[in-house]
Amino acid sequence: MREFTAMHSVASLPFKDLILSATEAHKDGDDQSRAWNVPEPLMDYLKVNLNDSQLEAVNAGLSRRSFVLIQGPPGTGKTQTILGLLSAVLHSAPARMQIKGGFDVLKHGPELDIDGKRAHWIKASPWLLGANPRDLIMPVDGDDGFYPTGNELKPEIVSSNRKYRAHVLVCAPSNSALDEIVLRVLKTGIRDENNNTYNPKIVRIGVKALHSVKAVSMDYLIQQKLSGVDRTLDGGRRGAGEYDRIRASILDEAAIVFSTLSFSGSSIFSRMTRAFDVVIIDEAAQAVEPATLIPLIHGCRQIFLVGDPVQLPATVISQTAQKLGYGTSLFKRFQAAGFPVQMLKIQYRMHPEISTFPSKEFYEGVLQDGEGLSRKRPWHSYSCFGPFCFFDVDGIESQPSGSGSWVNQDEVEFITLLYHQLALRYPELKSSPEVGVISPYRHQVKLLKDSFRSTFGDQSRELIDVSTVDGFQGREKEIVIFSCVRCNKEQKIGFVSDFRRMNVAITRAKSAVLVVGSASTLKQDKHWNNLVESAKERNCLFKRIT
């Protein structure tokens, strides 16, 4: 229902034409001019601590573009870029408010006659006629059309004691993706205009929040507010109205509001008295377009879509909906239409022998390696545990009764032996959970967990992280073993052929990715054939002898 409502609200959005056409309205460079002026100490910090492509992405966010797309391939510091963007937006002033020598009065709008001024004020202040401002208040067009404030007729001094503060909404498709950003903000903080680190006022809206972010959840903050109320005054008469008032005040006071895309359509947002200036959507390529539109219905001036269309897309159960394009993200549609995309180009996760294939296969060779990634690990001295290896295992696939999933017991046994050899040769891997084992199929994951438990005991759950590929997006391990499962004479590989799932699977490892699969079956797919050939060329394809 929220997606349906969001679709119907597009017609009232100021950037509806851009959403429909996926084409920038300004081709003359006007949209490239600064909308935000960043204080010099903060900008100096960003220049030192962000690489060139990250800084370009932040600078694009400081422009007058309504939409800014940032593509973050694996390990390129997407969250770090978002934190830099938050610091810049929260501690900058709209360009129209700043003049040489510091902050001064807002610019005046065009001179109006008395009737024009009256109409202007009525439009900005509907409560003067007895209307409910929550229902009817609308922004008044500013003189430059980008930051309408409704205050052009009432100049306001903006000094160091009262600075403009943006109101930011950060969204993600899932609770887990959202909580990752919340945790980073809580852990590292952001930078203020003087380049000091601090923790801004934030609130996490919605359900299923991690315990580690409980202190900034809406429910917890409400209880904190209520605990400060003199209970003798309300006499136990606290009702829904009191809770609504507190929720609204928390939303208004927070510099950053965090919500899943779906929950951003909740009625709780309708009680705010302060609109959002900026909406940032993380993992935007993993959300269907109608879901991406939900947070925009509250009104905003700028939207940042951050994600990677070459990684996992949204999960769409209905095959009919999928065929009709429901699974296409707004990010992907904009990119396909030629809308400018800021690409983060330096990865800081993978050994160069791992990153070379995905860079060439999925990112047109533009992905570069950060410093220090080619460091040799102890297990690299053994050729079978090098940075990139393909183990050609012709096992037997099967499909559990009544299931759409697939399993391959031969691969389970081989991977169990592979890990056993790793742990024997390099016992330091058992001191911390540095090994991940992933597969596209849930039933294969269950077989792998059972095998590890029966072979290595219950402690295996603490030492080996076994998961589906989809459940591993956004995560990393020192060593990752990937079970491909499919092996048949017909060379059918199902959704293993999805290059986005393949990309995620082979880019989770920092020092070694060990792919286990049937080369003859996988080679029918273009991307898998290229990977097998790459392994052959680099002498890292090993055939299991049966």
Mean pLDDT by 10 residues, the chain (546 residues): 84 86 64 75 96 96 91 97 96 63 39 54 50 42 36 34 74 94 95 94 91 93 79 52 86 95 90 89 96 91 96 90 93 96 98 98 97 96 96 95 92 97 92 93 97 93 93 93 96 95 98 98 97 97 86
Element (H, E) at 380: none
Residue 370 DSSP class: P
Report the DSSP beta bridge partners of residue 543.
Answer: 392
DSSP string, 62-73: TBS-SEEEEE--
Burial level of 367, CB count in 10 A (0-12/13-18/19+)?
buried
Contact 67, 338 (CB under 8 A): no
Give pTM, 2 decimals: 0.84
Output the CA torsion sign for 136, 141, 145, 151: negative
Residues in CB range of 260: below 8 A, 6 or more apart: 171, 172, 173, 174, 175, 178, 206
Tokens 């990715």 sit at which residue?
513
> What is the set of domains in the chain, with CATH numbers?
50-91+164-230+238-344 (3.40.50.300), 359-543 (3.40.50.300)
CA 156 to CA 108: how far, in whole Å?
10
Write down how long the chain is: 546
Contact 48, 77 (CB under 8 A): no
What's the Cα-to-Cα distance from 546 to each of 442, 535, 543, rounded to whole Å? 27, 21, 9
Tokens 């952001």 sit at which residue?
190
| Other C-beta atoms lying within 10 Å of the C-beta of residue 506 | 24
What's the Cα-to-Cα distance from 485 to each of 413, 498, 500, 517, rounded to whole Å? 12, 14, 17, 6
CA 293 to CA 334: how far, in whole Å?
14
pLDDT at 239: 64
For the record, the structure tokens of 9 come out as 């609200």
pLDDT at 540: 97
pLDDT at 31: 54
Output the CA torsion sign for 94, 99, 100, 102: negative
Element (H, E) at 514: strand 509-517
C-alpha closest to that of 24 among 334, 240, 441: 334
| Other C-beta atoms lying within 10 Å of the C-beta of residue 65 | 23
Element (H, E) at 407: strand 407-408
C-alpha closest to that of 153 among 112, 205, 101, 125: 112
pLDDT at 114: 55
Output the CA torsion sign for 459, 463, 467, 471: positive
CA 15 to CA 299: how far, in whole Å?
10
* Helix (H/G/I), strand (E/B), else coil: 338: coil
Residue 108 DSSP class: P
pLDDT at 317: 86
Distance of CA 484 to the CA centre of its chain: 27
pLDDT at 123: 53
* Helix (H/G/I), strand (E/B), else coil: 33: coil
CA 342 to CA 60: how far, in whole Å?
8
pLDDT at 208: 84
What's the Cα-to-Cα distance from 161 to each of 61, 165, 403, rounded to whole Å? 26, 12, 64
Distance of CA 415 to the CA centre of its chain: 32
Report the DSSP beta bridge partners of residue 257.
Answer: 169, 203
pLDDT at 292: 95
Residues in CB range of 7: below 8 A, 6 or more apart: 290, 293
pLDDT at 464: 94
pLDDT at 447: 98
